[in-house]
Structure 1
Amino acid sequence: MPEKPLAGLKILVTRPRDQAVLLAQRIEQEGGIPLRFPLLEIAPVQDAGTLHEQVSRLAQFNLAVFVSPNAVKYGIAAIRAEGDIPCPPQNIVIEPSDRGRADGRQLPQSAGFAGNVSLPPALRIATVGQGSAKVLHQLGIANVIAPTERFDSEGLLALPEMQNIAGWRVIIFRGDGGREFLGDALKARGAAVEYAVCYQRSKPQWDARALLEAAPDAITVTSSEALVYLWQMLGDAQGDRLCGIPLFVPHKRIAELARQQGWLRVQLTDAGDDGLLSALVAWSSDYR
């Protein structure tokens, strides 16, 4: 039997705990050893009063933007918690016998997307990435506006549907902090923008020695914030010990930051788990 491409290689997975599961499993399937080292923790906002007030007015908005899978998870949870929004619901009721997949086929029972989501019928839904779009489709939400090439705010803003939005009211579901670029660009086009903060990030208290002792062969980082925390945790001296390890990132902006920090072997990948895994497999053939 031929050796699997990642056999014996230790791959650091730095996504938040819940989001790291599938990537870790796929690394194992290719023979690798996933080292789970979450650099961010994700949780619902502690004071959700403002969020629930905004959700109660959802029918007043023309467009809702979910900036990440976490924004979908916690934003939709807030919408469900609000219950009956004062408008006729859109036909996106998900029952066990009707579990839509991103490609229109049925989801297995284990997918766990049972429940009801009631959205105003005129509300447009948008997101910046295919991962978020897939989750929205799995929830039964059709006609999601999402880029198909560049998966970020700039990619979304370039779409034809986002050009003539003067007078629109836009609600952006996101975490605490985050980039202002999307909201500022929409305001510049004449839209009124509100941010709905539906989750918060925190930094786990890691000891850099644990990472050094793990001795990863490759590192994956999927957000700029996580990369900043990683370098802060390491410090310049210990960062210099790791900066020669291949660093796999799915976005040009993260790659630029990594090079500024001093990482020497930055690998820019395609988006999502597929992109990261394909790049890891391609790298492993040269590594050996």
Structure 2
Amino acid sequence: MSRVLITRPAGQGEALAARLRAAGHDVELVPALRIEPLPLADEHRRRLLDLDLYHAVFFVSANAAHHALAAMADLWPQWPVGLHWLAVGESTAAVIRQAGLTPAYPRSGFNSEAVLALPCLAEVRDRRILICRGDGGRDWLAARLRERGATVDVIPFYRRLPDPRRHCPDGIDTVMITSVEGWRALADRIAADIMVIAAGDRVAAAVAASHAGPVITAASAHDSDMLAALPG
């Protein structure tokens, strides 16, 4: 069995750790990144006050949903009706449900490409869409929606910074990386003989560009996909 390092931010890797331990693996949790909320700019506050004018709101991660919904709840004592609340996957959808809303999300893929295939985004010409994400996030989905004729607003609600405590414990033979930023924060601490399991093609490409050791591409950052990618 493997000795696995989970590098998700604090509080976000426990469910995966439990599944790995149940499968017989040793597990360490050491965050590569820490999450820092961003203050809401005046222009972004104005957009949230117009929340009822949007066709859909997309949360790119559980972090985005947590921070964005908290900001929205301060401005909306009752949620506006008629919006599509979109999540990238089940963990993000769970945060949306906790706010009393009904999310839509892809049942496989768990990335922007899968979200774009959701039925509510098929016809978006002249409709407004809000994307809630971290600072410096990926622009792919916004670009595709604009190509379809939508007006897209993007609000960053947090930023990811290298965790000062990040390290690779002794004896680790497998590291799970779920974001490009996470890899960049940890890359110089990962020995060449350590296997890296990367969440999706984009993350795997970033890892392979600077890691001499084996790289396995998981289908997504979803717990089940990360677990399935682990050999043995």
TM-score (norm 1): 0.72
1:169 shift after superposition: 0.9
User: For 2:219 and 2:99, how far apart are their aligned partners in 1?
Assistant: 25
User: Corresponding residue for 1:153?
Assistant: 112
User: For 1:39 and 1:24, how far apart are their aligned partners in 2?
Assistant: 15
* C-alpha RMSD of the superposition: 2.2
1:130 shift after superposition: 3.1
Matched, 1:219 2:175: yes
User: For 1:169 and 1:49, how far apart are their aligned partners in 2?
Assistant: 19
User: For 1:77 and 1:128, how far apart are their aligned partners in 2?
Assistant: 18
Q: Deviations over 1:136-190 (max 9, x none)?
A: 2344422x33222322111222333312111001111111111111111111111
User: For 2:85 and 2:4, how far apart are their aligned partners in 1?
Assistant: 35
Matched, 1:14 2:7: yes
Q: In the alignment, which of 9, 30, 44 is matched to residue 37 of structure 1?
A: 30
Structure 2 matches for 1:64-83, cutoff 5 A? 64-83=57-76
Contact 1:51 1:78 in 2 (8 A): no
User: SS of 2:72's equivalent?
Assistant: helix
Q: Deviations over 1:211-245 (max 9, x none)?
A: 2x5231211011111112222x44xxxx5xx2332
Q: Deviations over 1:83-120 (max 9, x none)?
A: 43xxxxxxxxxxxxxxxxxxxxxxxxxxxxxxxxx321
Matched, 1:264 2:213: yes
User: For 2:136 and 2:32, how far apart are their aligned partners in 1?
Assistant: 16
Distance 1:196 1:33, change over 3 A: same
User: For 2:75 and 2:211, how far apart are their aligned partners in 1?
Assistant: 46
Q: How many residues align?
A: 231
User: Corresponding residue for 2:229?
Assistant: 279
User: Corresponding residue for 2:145?
Assistant: 186
User: Corresponding residue for 2:195?
Assistant: 246
Contact 1:247 1:263 in 2 (8 A): no
Q: In the alignment, which of 131, 134, 149 is matched to residue 172 of structure 1?
A: 131
1:47 shift after superposition: 4.6
Amino acid at match of 1:169: R
User: Whose Rg is larger?
Assistant: 1
Q: Which moved more, 1:218-227 or 1:130-139?
A: 130-139
Contact 2:109 2:219 in 1 (8 A): no
Structure with more strand by fraction: 2
1:19 shift after superposition: 0.7
**Over 6 Å off, 4+ runs:** none
User: For 1:140 and 1:270, how far apart are their aligned partners in 2?
Assistant: 30
TM-score (norm 2): 0.88
Contact 1:48 1:198 in 2 (8 A): no
Unaligned 5+ segments in structure 2 are: none
Structure with more helix by fraction: 1
Unaligned 5+ segments in structure 1 are: 1-5, 85-117
User: Corresponding residue for 1:28?
Assistant: 21
